[in-house]
Structure 1
Amino acid sequence: MLFSLALVASSFAVARVASAMAVSGATGPATPNYWFSFGDSYSTTGFSPSGTLPAPGNPLGNPAYPGNTGAGGSNWVDVCTTVYNASLLLTWNYAYSGATVDAALVAPYYPTTLSLKDQVGEFLAGVAAPWTPADALFSVWIGINDLGYSYYWTNGSRSTFADVLLDAEFGLVEKLMLASPASNQTLLRIVTDEFNKKLAEKVDAFEVEHPDFVQSSVYFWDAHAVFTDILDDLPKYGFDADPTAYGGANDFWG
């Protein structure tokens, strides 16, 4: 499974990347790529997932370019979306000014500020873009507010608290990765394989534990493996090629 993620540590690093990527005026293919941006004022453009959504001709959705940025002008998300790329890039920018990783760990200046945890929650609540792991980039630029707001705290170890913050951040990154359709399929396969393994072991143990059932037999048949083999080449077995079709005379699913 492909999954692209950028974790940004400093503005200088981004500036160097942007300079290296500059292809102003380049035209790209009609098939879009998707960028899901999370973070704080360094990245925000004031996007709301309930407003106008990104589309060809309006790749940032709402508000209009350059949006409501931290400094009022264009920022790196603006220019990377509209200038520094050679493709049709549609950007869903959940970043929010003043954001911390998790308001329960470090409270933002304003209680209405959406933390990284809140931003990920907005994303998970539903994205209309038909993205896949192969055509999507997720970026996270966060941390300056967490450090700034907690700098004067005198309780506890700073090193330990840094671990707490990073554990929280990467826990949210994991949620983003698991949101991938391919990840869901992978997880389901893992769960299915583990269940079937345990079922086969249970069948074997049952026979061993009941030797008195001399005239009885217990069989294990792996329908998942057989179905997968057939679905991988339906015409070979006399079915129509669409693995999702059902109800027709030649459909695998009847």
Structure 2
Amino acid sequence: MENNTQIFGLRAVIEAIHAEKTIDKVFLQKGLKGELFLELEALLRRYSINSSYVPVEKLNRLTKNNHQGVVAQISPIAFHDLDALVEQTIASGATPLFLLLDQLSDVRNFGAIIRTAECTGVNGIIIQKKGGAPINGDTIKTSAGAVFKVPICKVDHIKDAMFHMQASGIKVIAATEKTENTLYDVSFKGPCAIILGSEGRGINPSVLKLVDDKAKLPLLGEIESLNVSVACGAFLYEALRQRL
């Protein structure tokens, strides 16, 4: 069965995947067995759909309906194809400005970033299929509806998006404290994509090795970092300032 934000029940979720519904995440009951369950697991692996195994109590909190051990969260938006979005942006004559989010986990930070991205003319936001914050009611509310205005793409791994950007002549700039350059030392005037990491660990080290440039925010206080959505705003407005 289905409501506005969820699909529940083994067969219903399987059919939703076959029908190419945009699914953000699937919650599976720990210890669940059976032929249908194995079929669902195989589909989740085949289509790289984000999933996690949880106690039945978690599923009972998600829905009061007969969930049969599985609840899927439906995305309220349709995701864009990365290749097509990059091509369209370049063809439009605009100087590309993209955001790459390396497994950002907090939905409110995600929503705030989307809102700032819309205000600063970002051409698209790229997220990873697994490990990141979903697009749910909190994301929509915090974004003030900007989630419906900024194209968002999902990729199997954030590295895939980086390689595509670089092959398309778009410089990838990391927002990281692991550099001597501040964001005022780096040029954002040309085609570029700014990559931000998760709230806890920042940008994955293996991803950081592949960027074209790095920049940090100067911090004069005793606290060593800013909230990621605040840092994102500072980077995007510096990019906008340079381009105006």
TM-score interval for Structure 1 and Structure 2 normalised by the shorter chain:
under 0.3
If you compute each CA radius of gyration, which structure gives the higher value, 1 or 2?
A: 1
Give the structure with the higher percent strand: 2
